[in-house]
Chains A and B, each alone.
Chain A
Amino acid sequence: MLTQKMKKAITDNPKKLANLIDLVNLPSTLRDFVGQSQISRLGCFKFVWSYIKTNKLQDPNNKNVVNCDEKLKSILLGKQQVELVELPALIKLHFPKQQK
């Protein structure tokens, strides 16, 4: 059932899936952060999230807020604090829609 739904979602909207998992050449700031020259949007999200977890950057009082360190700040518009809610949107900024 699930796979059928998935298939349908993919066939309905192949572009949406593509811009999630296609490898993209990264701008220099992001390249320094990730350590790779190419990554997908999904991969980037997972990387940033695991970075936050391993460096324990979540605010101890409010887990929904991330206190950025210098490295993280450089890729998230230089914000001092970022809410987890806006994390996907902020990462999406690095992956503009491709013009064809």
Chain B
Amino acid sequence: MGKIPRSLRSAIPSTSFIKKAPSIPTEIPNPQQQQQPHYFPKKPSKRNSQLSKKPQETQTPQPHRSPFKTPSLNEAKKLFNSFISTTKSLQMDGLRLHNSFLKSYTSISTLDDSISLLNHMIKSLPSLSPDRSTYHVLLSQSCKEPDSSLSSAQKVLNLMVNNGFEPNQVTVDVAVRSLCSVGKVEDAVLLVKEFSSKHSKPDTFTYNFLVKCLCKSRILNNVYSFIDEMKNSFDINPDLVTYTILIDNVCNAKNIREADRLVGVLKECGLKPDAFVYNTIMKGYCMLNKGIEAVRIYKQMKEEGVEPDLVTYNTLIFGLSKCGRVIEAKKFLKVMVESGQFPDAVTYTSLMNGMCREGDVLGAMALLGEMELEGCSPNSCTYNTLLHGFCKGRMLNKGIELYELMKKGGMQLEAASYATFVRALCREGRVAEAYEVFDYAVESKSLTDVAAYTTLESTLKWLKKAREQGLAVYCWWEISTRFHWPTKKHQTEYKPLMATNGGFGETRRAMAA
């Protein structure tokens, strides 16, 4: 269903109008009084059209019932006639209202019908003269048409030019965003190139938006060639934001070397990297478990005189905790506070995660108290981390306490903490409680039914097997819980050892060595 635009909605507060309007125009309950305050004279609406970059966002922020029930053109025409016949006495020629009206119809109908409706609107209301944003409404819709070519967009653009509106930067932006929203990035690129050669160049926002979309859908070399082409043919240079997008993209692909190269290119272009660039690179290192490198970047940042922000410290603490350098992470928490930043839930949760990894759950719990003293309220992620920590650290009762607290607060469970919790419960023979946790996970929509059930089923299967076979499997469990977060090494080296020797003691001795 379509949406009723805000302007139209505020003009018609009575729902009965929306219900009955398509059929009988005489039943409209005296709209004159309500419409008076929402009268938009032409002047402000023109200014509005120039300012509004994205008409679809400024006009329809919330889904609402559309006055249109069917995409039928005749019904729409009838509705429009009824609309103007009741508002004529007021000379309601507010353009924004009519644009909204058109938009509601466009969203549920085809482009051709929408153009016909516009023609009908102009014909039956001579005082109405469509402006640029009217055509943008049509353009936005035409870009979302399912056919693969740009022909419908071309049609609207021609219509626009014929009516005396040369496409400008806003037009490009509307078209690009509409195309990208339905995944037609290739078409967007074509359109931008065409626009740049014929009408107007895209502004930096449009350009960067497009680069971001390209990064998601294309391989890196294609993105580079696009940037080069824009630079050489149309003299549009990438700016700092473009480089940040690129660096973020290569970091997400774990290609740190490329990120370093990009920083070099960026400096060659005469741009100075800011905190965002550094944060992005730091994030890249943290994802690769290279906390030390992140510290190096931090120092580099300080040398270059870039002030680290909250995100910088959060990334650092996260990275250091992740690779097991909790002590350093704690140090940075102090540095952070000294430099005047306020640590937030993310900071504390990262640190708690690090402490739990080391098996220091009680320390993490103490940190929770500290956090609340500082006036920072924990979020569901914090609780999940702690729950995970308790279950790994064999403090199931504490874990259950925490779980009850979470349940009371209606917090969602994360996949990892759910799985650990269920396993811990089953290990203690509290299967019924594990079932209840399953119920809660499904009920609170923390996980999908399938994910929750698969975990439960495999855990129960394991438990059954463990009971049948006795010690051997149980030992493996013992090891994997005692040494928190079993590493690849544990799995590859010690599991076979245990299978062959069959002994827990033997394996433990090997691990201790």
Contact = CB atoms under 8 A, between A and B. Distances in A.
Interface stretch (B32-40, B50-58, B444-452): B444-452
A51 interface: no
Nearest to B435: A84
Nearest to B460: A85
B461 interface: yes
B453 interface: yes
Interface string A46-87: 100100000000100001100000000000000000011111
Contact of B432 (A42, A63, A89): A63
A21 interface: yes
Contacts of A33: none
B415 A88 contact: no
A49 to B, nearest CB: 7
B456 A88 contact: yes
Given A49-B435, A64-B430, A85-B460, A17 B453 contact: no
B362 interface: no
A95 to B, nearest CB: 12
B497 interface: no
Given A6-B451, A45-B453, A46-B449, A85 B415 contact: no
B405 to A, nearest CB: 22
A20 interface: yes
Interface residues of A, number: 20
Interface in A1-53: 2, 5-6, 17, 20-21, 42, 45-46, 49
Nearest to A20: B450
Contacts of B429: 64
Contacts of B432: 58, 63-64, 84
B415 A5 contact: yes
Interface in B390-430: 414-415, 426, 429-430
Chain B interface size band reads: 20 to 34
B461 to A, nearest CB: 7
Nearest to A64: B431
A86 B453 contact: no
Contacts of A49: 435, 439
A85 B415 CA distance: 21
Contacts of B442: 46
A6 B453 CA distance: 13
A42 B449 contact: yes
Contacts of B414: 2
A90 to B, nearest CB: 11
Contacts of B463: 85
Interface string B448-470: 11110110110011011000000
A78 B447 CA distance: 33
Contacts of A63: 431-433
Tell which of B414, B426, B432, B461 has the most Cβ of chain A within 10 Å.
B432
Given A85-B460, A89-B464, A20 B430 contact: no
A2 B451 CA distance: 10
B14 to A, nearest CB: 43
Nearest to B438: A49
Nearest to B467: A85
Given A2-B414, A64-B431, A64-B432, A42 B461 contact: no
Interface of A: 2, 5-6, 17, 20-21, 42, 45-46, 49, 58, 63-64, 83-89
Interface of B: 414-415, 426, 429-433, 435, 439, 442, 447-451, 453-454, 456-457, 460-461, 463-464
24 contacts: A2-B414, A2-B415, A2-B447, A6-B448, A21-B450, A42-B449, A42-B453, A46-B442, A49-B439, A63-B431, A64-B430, A84-B435, A84-B460, A85-B426, A85-B431, A85-B460, A85-B464, A86-B464, A87-B460, A88-B456, A88-B457, A88-B461, A89-B460, A89-B461
Given A63-B433, A89-B460, 10 more contacts: A6-B451, A21-B450, A42-B450, A63-B431, A64-B429, A64-B430, A84-B460, A85-B426, A85-B460, A88-B461
